[in-house]
Amino acid sequence: MIEIKEEQLEDILDKAIKKIETQHGMQLLSITKKIAPLDPLHFFEVAKGMKKNRTFWTSTIDDFYIVGVGNAVEIVAEEERFEVTENQWSKLLDEAIVYNPYKVPGTGIVTLGGMAFDPKKPRTDLWKKFSASQFTIPEYMLTKEDGSYYFTINIRLKRDDHAIQLANELEQVEATFFSERPRNTNGLITNEKIEIQPSEWKDSVRQAREEIRKNKAEKIVLAREVRLKFNKKADITTVLENLIQTQGNSFIFALEKNDDCFVGATPERLVKIEKDHLLSTCLAGTAPRGHTEEEDMAISHSLFHDEKNRQEHDFVVRMIKHAIKNYCTDLEIPDEPVIYPLKNLQHLYTPVTATLKKGYSIFDIIKQLHPTPALGGTPREESLQFIRDNELLDRGWYGAPVGWLDSNQNGEFAVAIRSGLIQGDEASLFAGCGVVKDSDPEAEYEETNIKLLPMLSVLGG
């Protein structure tokens, strides 16, 4: 990765073009500049007119945004996805030219994307546009970090490109993002809500419970699908806007593949890396919010002292500790969880901090952590095998790692729960629950209904 000093756009482009050695060679150039404040949702909406795929990420609690437009480079892996993705990413950074005097998280070369929950589960037509692992380096990107705004251009240059002509084109594109664009935000209405095999799903809960009672597993997480049909094509910008307004303390994301868009508002961080500082979180154990302050406190108290939820939470804490201890030093985990409140739900929450050892990357940690017991179960292989054999859906990217990483050794991934795959005027929503030896299928079914609320509420349901 070559860093270049502050110069005019034409000069930066001209120098990068001259580095291309062969007639058919290509050079990835990344240029980041600081810009005036620009609404990330406006940036996302303007891109709709460009007919390019869009990516969106925000950590609402940090007021941190990355919005990507287009596809300068795509990293796709179907086999050995962690190793292949990391190797392609490292090779790309080694060969790229980067102009980024700021080096704040989410600037420079950034790739956004995610992975399938279980690549061994056969892919259905529902998820045909999403690979086992797929990351996009956008052509144009807006980053909001610590109250400042940054605009990044990632461009693949050819030897016969003309610097002045390219500079003019890029400046026109940048100006487009600042232009006014009216937006139709008329309400979306769910005309039809189709429960996919609810009785069969409850049967699978009973079957999982029997496996656990035979000591073949301690916990198995089973997910189900609800299919929605709308009165019109869903506007993704409006969906994101509503999620931002209603789902505080969440990671809100959108990953667009042509007419399909995977969208969610997940409270569950998998891992965050800043240089060598690591933060992971255990989020397991769920209850609804109360209608009054007194009722809310009573539910919180009940959640905190509920044996099933505490057991479920402890599974996750122990797994995360065991998974990352060989990759980190200075590992710190509190003795007890706290209550983590969201708009519709509340969870048991435990933060985990550590220092990443030299020679390891965020991909090493993701590989160890995914899937957590909150999404797969425990033991991992036994629960995953049961899910492969018995779950009634293709999870696709539901419950899997989604997030971003940059050329400055920063990155953050969340677990893609509270999510749905939007396809024009239809959508599939997903929710799951952890089955243990005393699970009641009806109670688990009601828990999934609660977990569907965040997405239903913004999709006219």
Rg, Å, the chain Cα set? 23
Q: Say whether 233 is catalytic.
A: no
**Residue 91, Cβ density class (10 Å: 0-12 exposed, 13-18 middle, ≥19 buried):** exposed
**For residue 102, what are the contacts with CB-CB under 8 A and spacing of at least 6?**
32, 34, 150
CA distance 319 to 306: 20
343: its two tokens? 């708009």
CA distance 127 to 352: 33
C-alpha pair distances (Å), 303 with each of 157, 218, 293, 309, 348 = 56, 20, 15, 7, 8
3-state secondary structure labels for all residues of 149-196: EEEEEEEEEECCCCHHHHHHHHHHHHHHHCCCCCCCCCCCCEEEEEEC
Q: CA end-to-end span of the chain, whole Å? A: 48
Helix and strand element counts for the chain (H, E): 11, 24
> Which of 129, 219, 272, 451 is labelled catalytic?
219
Q: Say whether 144 is catalytic.
A: no
233 close to 48: Cβ distance less than 8 angstroms? no
Residue whose C-alpha is closest to residue 254's, from 407, 85, 58, 424: 58
> Which of 145, 241, 268, 391 is labelled catalytic?
268
Per the annotation, where are the binding residues?
312, 447
Determine if residue 133 is left, alpha or beta; phi over 0 gives left, psi from -120 to 50 gives alpha, anything else beta. Answer: beta
Q: Which residues are marked as active site? A: 219, 268
